[in-house]
Structure 1
Amino acid sequence: MHLRCVVLDDYQNAATGLADWSPLGDTVEVVSLREHLGGEDELAAALATADIVVTLRERVPFPASLLARLPRLKLLIASGMRNTVIDYAAARAHGITVCGTASSSTPPVELTWALLLSLARGIVEEANSLRDGGPWQQTVGADLHGRTLGLLGLGRIGSRVAQVGLAFGMRVTAWSENLTKERADEVGVQRATSKEELLTTGDFVSVHLALGDRTRGLLGPAELALLKPTAYLINTSRAAIVDQDALLTALHEGRIAGAGLDVFDTEPLPADHPLRTAPRLLATPHLGYVSRANYTTYYGQAVENIQAYLAGSPVRQLP
């Protein structure tokens, strides 16, 4: 038996370098694609001969229409144990097994603080000016000690972001629809009585919520208008939680001090997208999960998933 495995969105060509695929022997041919395939026709053509597909996070949707065009596909592996862009019912109907992998909460926590600190101290602007021979010291940094960090969400990632904020001597508040005082006390933060209270009091507001019907568009024009003009907004969670047009307006009009984004409605971000040139914005190309440890886990467990599937005992099945 000879199977073909296609790894999607392997931008850094990391899949084969950070995992040992040799246990699969000659049974599975592994092909990694470095370029993003955006359209369904393009995907259907590239995956027509694939028996196994490894997809990165939620970059590529697998709706029923695409799955119906992949007659050879038998195993679909997603990194992480949550994926909202795979039609699981259609996968089952076509006899496709869907599996996930573990993931670490550390990389998005670290990137959240990288964005927040870079914004607060003007790191990118100052570093570029120094390199280009520009003025010596242009910005005045925003202090963290004694300031308020507002967290939308206090789950696995949000609670770790909170711990760092407390270590900086910040006052940390948190809110979500289901957040209890007991949970807030457990983490050592204050529970905001409402979303509005968190937004109006936060000097730095960071989003750490899962995307769903209740959180889609959670921060729209009215909510962003509640932020202080000196406040910074960080989103390393899901783009659709923040109204993109409303955020662009707030940035262009100077109604907030700045924003740090790692997630976007369209990824990769088109070259002419207005976010690429928005003022007061520090943006990174969805690096929250991109780390050596995470990739080693993703691809290492992808190999394990393939082995288990071939042995007739699939593991980490989704949903």
Structure 2
Amino acid sequence: MKIFFTAEYDEEQLKPLYEMGEVIKDGWALGLPKMTEEELVEKTKDADMIITSYDDITRKVIESAPKLKLIACTRATPVNVDMEAAKERGIPVLYTPGRNSDSTAEMTIGLMLSIARRIPMAHCALKEGRFTGNPDARKETKDGLKVDMIWDMNMDSPYMVFKGTQLHGKTLGIVGYGSIGRRVGKIARAIGMELLIYDPFVGEVDVEEFGVRKALNLKQLMQESDFVTCHMKVTDETKGCISREMISYMKKTAYFINASRGAILDEEALIDALREKRIAGAAFDVYASEPLASNHPYVAELDNVVITPHIAGATDDVLVNHTKQIVADVRRFLNGEHLLYQYR
């Protein structure tokens, strides 16, 4: 059993796979770049299984591997696998739903806190030497008073420049209440936020509890939320659903967070809202086009955004999770058992 392996992985969790066949590591598994179609065709022609993260498993790759019996992709959606070609050959495709749900949920809360409290802005200011004091300066405490550890108090002090808003007591609108959305909601409730949910595929009975409501429609969620966070896959229904019209319903004091996919948002409309201060701010981990251009308004112009380079799922824990999932399902496949993570 030849297993061609180009996925990122956790070595400890991968060990059982070595007993199931000959594991041939290449590409990203060795820290090498994404492989070309020609390389994959040549190197997988004798493979019984292909396990990858990011390589494109095209029709040509699949049809050039006559012994291929299983394809596995260590992602929440195997967008880089030609599903139709695999289906025609009767080859199951494994994926790893939920592998990064906790990491992405935590990142979402981190983005919310960062923009609400302007943490990155304050950090950058100090690193640039702004608001810092003379190393030789010493404060004196007047007789009868205790030491008061404050920075300068004026309208240009950091206390005023970086004044933000707390999350406790605010309404968080969650668009998409699946694996990640629910985890975001759980953390937000622990902070003391109220939840307003919009998800056409989730019923009221599955949502409503103390401090949690289901919005009648997306417009209501946009109007009533202090923070809006999106957690959806890209489909015909979700593409561009956060439209210019929906953005126009947001409060002037509201913040928009996106750590799902850039395609669900009308990015130009959101940029306009930020430029014109029609919303308080936004935080992003995903974009309409990646990587961000060096002259993109988020980079070069706007000071009311927090941006990160698509790293919500970039934790060592995610590698542990998806390696466990794939190895377990490969074992089930070899034993002729029901597959838990077959993509349909």
Q: Does residue 256 of structure 2 align to residue 233 of structure 1? A: yes
Cα–Cα, structure 1 residues 35 and 205, in superposed 2: closer, same or farther, change >3 Å? farther
Cα–Cα, structure 1 residues 238 and 300, in superposed 2: closer, same or farther, change >3 Å? same
Query: In structure 1, what is the equivalent of residue 325 of structure 2?
Result: 301
Query: In structure 2, what is the equivalent of residue 317 of structure 1?
Result: 342
1:104-123 aligned at under 5 Å gives the runs: 104=99, 105-123=101-119
Cα–Cα, structure 1 residues 107 and 3, in superposed 2: closer, same or farther, change >3 Å? closer
Quick check: which has more Rg, 1 or 2? Answer: 2
Aligned length: 306
CA shift digits 1:82-136 (9 cap, x unpaired):
4455332211224543112353431111111000001111111111212221126
1:175-254 aligned at under 5 Å gives the runs: 175-186=198-209, 188-254=211-277
Asked if the contact 1:79–1:298 (Cα under 8 Å) also holds between the matched residues in 2, the reply is yes
| Comparing 234-243 and 98-107, the one that deviates more | 98-107
Query: In structure 1, what is the equivalent of residue 282 of structure 2?
Result: 259
**Structure 1: distance between partners of 2:3 and 2:168:** 56
**Structure 1: distance between partners of 2:78 and 2:326:** 15
Where does the alignment leave 5 or more consecutive residues of structure 1 unmatched?
none
Where does the alignment leave 5 or more consecutive residues of structure 2 unmatched?
133-157
**Structure 2: distance between partners of 1:63 and 1:317:** 18
Q: Does residue 86 of structure 2 align to residue 91 of structure 1? A: yes
Partner SS state of residue 259, structure 1? strand
- Aligned equivalent of 1:287, options 295, 298, 311: 311
Question: 1:19 corresponds to which letter in structure 2?
Answer: Q
Cα–Cα, structure 1 residues 117 and 312, in superposed 2: closer, same or farther, change >3 Å? same
Query: In structure 2, what is the equivalent of residue 55 of structure 1?
Result: 52
Identity among equivalent pairs (%): 28
Asked if the contact 1:159–1:187 (Cα under 8 Å) also holds between the matched residues in 2, the reply is no
Q: Does residue 128 of structure 2 align to residue 132 of structure 1? A: yes
Cα–Cα, structure 1 residues 266 and 45, in superposed 2: closer, same or farther, change >3 Å? farther
Following superposition, the deviation at residue 189 of structure 1 comes to 0.5
CA shift digits 1:135-157 (9 cap, x unpaired):
26231111222222111122332
| Comparing 199-208 and 148-157, the one that deviates more | 148-157
Cα–Cα, structure 1 residues 29 and 84, in superposed 2: closer, same or farther, change >3 Å? closer
Q: Does residue 53 of structure 2 align to residue 30 of structure 1? A: no
Cα–Cα, structure 1 residues 30 and 312, in superposed 2: closer, same or farther, change >3 Å? farther
Q: Does residue 127 of structure 2 align to residue 103 of structure 1? A: no
- TM superposition score normalised by structure 2: 0.76
Following superposition, the deviation at residue 65 of structure 1 comes to 5.9
**Structure 1: distance between partners of 2:276 and 2:236:** 29
**Structure 2: distance between partners of 1:212 and 1:86:** 17
**Structure 2: distance between partners of 1:294 and 1:86:** 20
Cα–Cα, structure 1 residues 209 and 5, in superposed 2: closer, same or farther, change >3 Å? closer
Partner SS state of residue 106, structure 2? helix
Following superposition, the deviation at residue 253 of structure 1 comes to 3.2
Question: 1:107 corresponds to which letter in structure 2?
Answer: S
**Structure 2: distance between partners of 1:214 and 1:226:** 20
Partner SS state of residue 165, structure 2? coil
Asked if the contact 2:10–2:320 (Cα under 8 Å) also holds between the matched residues in 1, the reply is no
Query: In structure 2, what is the equivalent of residue 172 of structure 1?
Result: 195
Partner SS state of residue 135, structure 1? coil
CA shift digits 1:150-180 (9 cap, x unpaired):
1112233222322322232223212222443
Asked if the contact 1:47–1:70 (Cα under 8 Å) also holds between the matched residues in 2, the reply is no
Cα–Cα, structure 1 residues 97 and 278, in superposed 2: closer, same or farther, change >3 Å? farther
Partner SS state of residue 174, structure 1? strand
Query: What's the RMSD between the two structures over aligned residues?
Result: 3.0
